[in-house]
Structure 1
Amino acid sequence: MFTDSHCHLSFPELSEHLPQILQRMEEARVTRAICICTTLEEFEAVHALAAQYPQLWATVGVHPDNEDVIEPSADRLVELSAKNRVVGIGETGLDYYRLNGRSVADMQWQRDRFAAHIQAARKTDLPLVIHTRSASDDTLRILRDEGGFSSVSDNAGGVARGVFHCFTETEAVARAALELDFFVSFSGIITFKNAADLREVVRFVPLDRMLIETDSPYLAPVPHRGKTNSPAWVPHVAAMVAEIKGVTMEAVAEATSENVDCLFSRIVADA
């Protein structure tokens, strides 16, 4: 019924309790989850989860915050994405929230890494899983520059597509993402007391362009805030979306799961 479109079950906080997590997912009617890769070093563990459990799927990518890790080339991402049950490229994007004394100009390595992911996504026609924090202008600019939206050269491949995950930006950024034909995904943050502005973005984003997620082990929704998050709690995100939209939880579950099928089309092809 419910699909958690973004979680990190390979992280030790969750991997050490995987049987219990899968059982709680079943009890909560969370029938699928996409396990997101954040480093190439982590990829084999993420892929192993998807290979072993039919309700789990994987991506391949390197998170913008991760330094001193293997740097991904577009060709390497393409190679790994060909493995069975890999359905997306990322988590990728830009994060200028913690510059640690550096300037935005110093973060060219993040922008180059993001461009490599976009190139891989275009070559494979797989969706991007985008993280952006305090960097939305550059994120959108690079997507437009590298994503093939205005022109496609002979060897450039298709047009980039994907999802802005764990969305915390403004309605204007959401509008720009939708105009690029991207989906917008909301996490447990929308249940937080101080997230009134973000709930207005939820109201703005059409249900047929929306995903829901936990980003577990982080950002547990109310009433579990402060605890280790789990895909079993994605229905709390659905409940808040339903309240904002004035629809049933079942309608949110159905729409967001259909959106996952539309975006991560390999899930349907491999079913």
Structure 2
Amino acid sequence: MSTPLDPVASERLSHADKVFTSDLSINEFALLHGAGFEPLDLVMGVSVYHVGYQFAGIRQQSELPVLTEATYRARWNAMARMQAEADALGADGVVGVRLEWRQHGAESEHLEFIAVGTAVRYTPKPGAFKRGNGQAFSSHLSGQDLATLLRSGWAPVAFVMGNCVFHIAAQGFMQTLRQMGRNLEMPQWTTGNYEARELAMSRMQSEAERDGASGVVGVHFAIQNYAWGYHTVEFYAAGTAVRRSGTPETIAPSFVLAMND
């Protein structure tokens, strides 16, 4: 189900046909224009979220589903509102997507997530790069990387993500004593970190499969404690899901030089 467009955003976007706005660099703008894309407007989505309380015993080693769901839902809300703005413009895609967070106000349980990108239209054949459901694609790739991706016979599908908030069990007093002055692995941290990363990665891959993609490129991790303390950490993975779109083109020397500038 599509997200309704915010009335304030609707008023701003109504002027997009007069002058476009974009956070693309000059090189990105030139390369994407050469690939047939024109910028329409800067699109964004915001979600300020109250993170609920979840109990975690000091010796508990497990995912914290309340915190995982809250941080995922806040990101999803922001992305969905950005997507709604792009779709309202009739865009084929959103490039250079940034999904960032900050603590909101004085309360540690209030988090704000912001999604921003540049909506673009594919002028040679409008609609050619839209997703199967008719929505604009989204991608966190730079203009240079996106141009290379297109020339390689691949197309962006969607910005995909996965996360996991995990509580690492505190070690006992005797275990702490045995480690003093010695080189030893801390198994609860190794196991917990590994499990949390795997859950975040698998959820990101599930989103890519849901959108009919063949793979995910440009994957990056972020690790945050927010205000939860030393033993509670979120692992977040995100990337751009892609699909094959055609035959790779021969990249001209001038194009390679432009990519390196």
Q: TM-score, normalised by structure 2?
A: 0.26
Q: TM-score, normalised by structure 1?
A: 0.25
Structure with greater strand share of residues: 2
Q: Which has the larger radius of gyration?
A: 2
